[in-house]
Amino acid sequence: MTDLPRLRRLLGGPETAWLVDRVRERLSTGRALDTPVALRTATVEQRRAIELLLGRRLRSGTSLTVPLAEVDRVLRESLACPDGLAAAVVALAGPVTDRRAQDARLSAAWQQAWAVLDHPTVTERPELASWRAKVEATGLLKRLSGGDPAAARRLAADAVPVLSQLPADGLTLPAFSARTLGDAHALDEGRPLATLVHSAVRALAGPPADAMSGAAGRRAAWAAVGVALDELSSRALTLGLPGSTVGTTGRILAAAHEGGEPCLLTLRQLTGQPPRLGLAGRLVHVCENPAVLAAAADELGPDCPPLICVEGNLSVAARTLLTRIADQGCPIAYHGDFDWGGIRIATGVLRLPGATPWRYDAPSYLAAVDRGLGTPLTTGTPTPTPWDPALAAAVTGHAIRIEEEHLLDQLLADLRRQTVQH
């Protein structure tokens, strides 16, 4: 049984506090107490306390070396602490935390948190698998959870069902959040979960959306996965859609068609009061840039066949409108800029049922290059063109960027011919 008063006289004073601290440090890291500890600059009082503890004189000098094995023996033989030095330190200063065991438990807890993201929703999609590795490498999940593995595990568990529903089918962010998490505000900007999910959304969106910053970048990234931040900012630019006399949106389209003017439709108009489009299976042309639609309005006016512009990125409103058109059995023909950003936009449109390229293939590109059109293509990452693999190879080989505006004469001629045929 420990003789606590005697132990305190031998080892519990301020002159031996450094020794107790050194022993506690060794115990906390699982190291043995079988080698000496040293104090580089010792006071007279500290040297005297160690001499009293060991019962012998020490060599002179400023440094002080204490053999822990001898201290352990003295404590046991003197019965000040029959269980030895480790037990003595606990008796004097309280239990010692095993930091190695603590670190092992913490590491295991973080592995459990990361394991939540090792879900097929993430691992089976290359963009999300790369995102998951980046999140771990950059410590994003740790920062968002305040270094708490339990909080990190909850964040990851909430993120997985959200990611499993992407891309969405044209919802606003509050509606999407309510559908996946039961809380319309769970993905509001500034919340840790929103930050984590948005980093995944940027990975899914790919360039150019993931390269944009601020509110525009956030809107573009969410739009690329079929989610609008709100029902008013997401819009579709149209020309020549017949509309109808039924419903406000239908009448707006009909008036714009009669006047030969472009018409902007918000996601609210397309989902709250879906218009009767009156297309009857007609071919619908789609372009990337507003300049094409404006030129068609100037030249063809009310006679312009149905034309939709995605305005540089496929917004949720445009995706919703094009999906409705495709569902009605109308063929869609798409044209865009011949550069890597334009090809990525085209890929999104050409995935729609019934969508085909409109002068957007290798022969069209090469013909434009032969005409001397375009400018050097110096930016962007090469992207496959599954509808015509030769197109990606041609753009890579020639490295010439050809914007839609360079080809206005051909595009307008196509629209004019369709007007005559109709």
Tell me, what's the pLDDT at 368? 97
Res 209 pLDDT > 90 = no
| Those residues with Cβ within 8 angstroms of residue 121's Cβ, 6 or more apart along the chain or in another chain | 128, 160, 163, 164
User: How would residue 99 be classed by pLDDT, with cut points 50, 70 and 90?
Assistant: confident
Q: What is the pLDDT of residue 210?
A: 54
Confidence grade of residue 422 (pLDDT, cut at 50, 70, 90): low
State how far the Cα of 344 lies from the Cα of 360, in Å rounded to an integer: 13
Of 277 and 237, the structure prediction assigns the larger pLDDT to: 237
Mean pLDDT of 127-152: 94
At residue 211, the pLDDT reads 56
Mutual angle of helices 214-224 and 316-327, in 10-degree steps? 20
- Tokens 């670190």 correspond to 103
Average pLDDT estimate for 60-71:
90
* Cα–Cα distance for residue pair 193/47, rounded to 1 Å: 58
**Higher confidence at residue 238 or residue 250?**
238
Average pLDDT over residues 194-203: 94
For residue 399, the model assigns a pLDDT of: 97
Q: Average the pLDDT over each of 57-61, 140-144, 257-261 and give the range with the smallest value.
A: 57-61
AA letter at 395: V
Mean pLDDT is highest, among 62-71, 78-87, 104-113, 384-393, for 384-393
Q: Which residue from 210, 242, 207, 245 is spatially nearest to 345, judged by alpha carbons?
A: 207
Mind listing the pLDDT tens digit for each residue in 318-375?
999 999 899 888 999 999 999 999 998 999 899 888 899 999 999 999 999 999 999 9
pLDDT tens digits, 100-126: 888 888 889 999 999 999 999 999 999
Query: Across 31-45, 225-239, 340-354, 397-411, which has the greatest mean pLDDT?
Result: 397-411
| pLDDT value for 124 | 93
The string of DSSP codes covering 234-252 is -EEEEES----SSSHHHHH
> For 3-48, what is each residue's pLDDT tens digit?
999 999 999 999 999 999 999 999 888 889 999 999 999 999 999 9
Confidence at residue 421, expressed as pLDDT on a 0 to 100 scale: 67
- Residue 128, pLDDT > 80, answer yes
Nearest to 242 by CA among 298, 193, 281, 196: 281
The mean pLDDT of 376-388, rounded to a whole number, is: 93
Share of the chain above pLDDT 90, in %: 73
- Domains with residue ranges and CATH for the chain: 4-97 (no CATH), 108-228 (no CATH), 235-421 (3.40.1360.10)
Share in percent of the chain as helix, strand, coil (round to 5): 55, 10, 35
**297-313 pLDDT, tens digit each:** 999 999 999 999 999 77
Helices 4-11 + 85-93 axis angle, to 10: 100
Q: Two tokens at 73?
A: 């023996």
Position 208 scores a pLDDT of 60
pLDDT tens by residue, 166-185? 988 788 999 999 999 999 99
Q: Which residues contact 230 (CB under 8 A, 6 or more apart)?
A: 172, 173
Looking at residue 231, what is its pLDDT? Answer: 87
pLDDT at residue 247 in the model = 84
Q: What is the mean pLDDT of residues 204-213?
A: 68
Computed over every residue of the chain, the mean pLDDT equals 91
Provide the greatest CA pair distance for the chain: 115
For the cut 80, the answer to whether the pLDDT of residue 73 exceeds it is yes
What percent of the chain stands above pLDDT 70? 98
Binning pLDDT at 50, 70 and 90, where does residue 70 land?
very high
On the CB side of 109, how many CA atoms lie within 13 Å of its CA? 15
C-alpha distances in Å from residue 354, one per residue of 47, 118, 333, 334, 351: 91, 36, 9, 11, 9
Structure tokens at 142: 């740790």
pLDDT band at 230 (very low <50, low <70, confident <90, very high): confident
